[in-house]
Amino acid sequence: MDFPIFKTKIEGKEQKFNLTDAKERKDYFYYKAGEEIEKLKSHINKNTFIVYLLGKKNSGKGTYSKMLAELLGADTLSHFSVGDMIRAVSKEIQDSARKIELEMYLKKNYRGWTPLEDLIAAIEGRDTKTLLPTELILALVKREIAKRPHKTLFIDGFPRDMDQVSYSLFFRDLVGFRDDDDVMAFIDVPTNVIEERIKYRRICPICNTSRNTKLFPTARVGYDDKLEEFYLICDNPDCSGFDRQRMVGKEGDELGIEPIRERLEIDQKLMEKAMQLHGVPKIFLRNSIPVDVAKNYADDYELTMAYDYEWDAAGKKVNVIEKPWNVVDDKGINSVSLQAPAVAVSLIKQLVKALGV
C-alpha cells in the first residue's frame, strides 16, 4: 500500500512546540490547523459522524482519537474499541445479574445462525473454538452505541475480519444508528515502530491515555528509588489523576510484536481489502517519512525522538536525554517517524475535507 505523505510544515515559519506538554500541544494544533479545528467544532455541535479507524494493532488509533477529543470536547466525541468491548462483556457476564441482563438484551437484538447459549459459552471462554460471529458483534456494538447518545464515534476494530468488510458499508443501517456521515481512516505504521511502541508503552490506569517511555514521554518523569526505574506521570488535563498519576506497563508488552504477529498480518489484509470499497470517504494517515525528504514535509520537533533518562541525585530530579531516532520501514527505506500530534494534524485536515465542512 502506498500512502501519500502529508505536509504539516508551514513554510516561512519556525515556531517550535514541545509536543509532550499538554498546553503547548494544544497551541501546536491551533497553530497548524486552527481553522480546521474551529470548523470541526462548529460542525460537531450540530452533527454527529462515524470514523472507522483501520490500522494494525498498536498503530495509535486510540491515541489519535483521544487527541481529537481533547480538542473538540470529550462530551461530543467518543472512541471505543470493539476488542475492548468484547473483553468487557466477558468480564461482565461473570456477574450473574449482569449476565441475565445481557441475555435479555441479546434475545431481543441478536439474530444469527449460532444458538445464543453457545455464544454466551464462547464469550465466557468455555468454548475457545467458537468464533464470535459478525451478527453478535453488531448486536453488541449497537448496545455500546446506545450508551453514547448524541456523540460522534471513532470506532476501533470494525471491521475486524474479512467477512465484515462489506458490512461496514451498511453499518449505520445494521445497528439502527443515526443517518450520520461516515469516514474510513487508514493508518500506516512500520512494523519496527509498532515493536517499540509495545515494548515501551505505558498506560494511565485512570483515563487509559497511552504514552511511551522511549518514544513519546509525558512532560513529567519520576524516579522510583526502590525499583531503580523511571516512570511517566499522566499529563492528560481531563484526567482526575492529572500531573500525579503514575503510568504503568501492560503485562506481556515486553515481548513486543511476537504474540500479535498473526493479528498484524490479518490487519494488513483487512486494510488492503477495505481500500477497494467505493462510496465511503477515505483518510490516509502515515506515520513515517523517508529520511531524504523529511525536512520538506515536517518540522524537526514533529519527528519522533528517542528518549533516555538519568537521575540527578544531588538535584533530586530526572534529566531527560533526547536523541534522533531513525527506523527502517516495511519497504526497507530508512525513515523518520512522526510524533502522534503531527499525524493527528493530518487527520484533522483530511477529516474537514471528507465531511465537506
The ranges assigned to domains in the chain are 22-41+48-76+151-355, 82-148
At residue 113, the pLDDT reads 87
Residue (of 332, 186, 166, 330) closest to 272 by Cα position:
186
Q: What are phi and psi of 182, to 5 degrees?
A: -135, 150
The top-level CATH class assigned to 22-41+48-76+151-355 is: alpha beta
At residue 244, the pLDDT reads 85
> How far out from the chain centre does Cα 86 lie?
17
At residue 116, the pLDDT reads 87
Asked if 198 and 337 touch (Cβ cutoff 8 Å), the reply is: no
The C-alpha cell of 190 is what? 512500520
At residue 128, the pLDDT reads 46
Question: Distance between CA atoms of 352 and 16, rounded to whole angstroms?
Answer: 25
Residue (of 82, 55, 44) closest to 282 by Cα position:
55
At residue 156, the pLDDT reads 87
The C-alpha cell of 303 is what? 519527528
The low-confidence residues of the chain, meaning pLDDT below 50, are 127-129
At residue 137, the pLDDT reads 86
Question: Distance between CA atoms of 105 and 144, rounded to whole angstroms?
Answer: 12
Q: What are phi and psi of 169, to 5 degrees?
A: -65, -30
H, E, C per residue of 262-331: HHHHHHHHHHHHHCCCCCCCEEEEECEEEHHHHHHHCCHHHECEEEEEEEECCCCEEEEEEEECEEECCC
Residue range 299-355, pLDDT digits in tens = 999 999 999 999 998 888 999 999 889 999 999 999 999 999 999 999 999 999 999
Residue range 143-177, pLDDT digits in tens = 888 888 788 889 888 777 776 777 666 676 656 66
Residues 6+ apart with CB under 8 A from 28: 17, 19, 341
At residue 283, the pLDDT reads 95
At residue 80, the pLDDT reads 84
At residue 82, the pLDDT reads 86
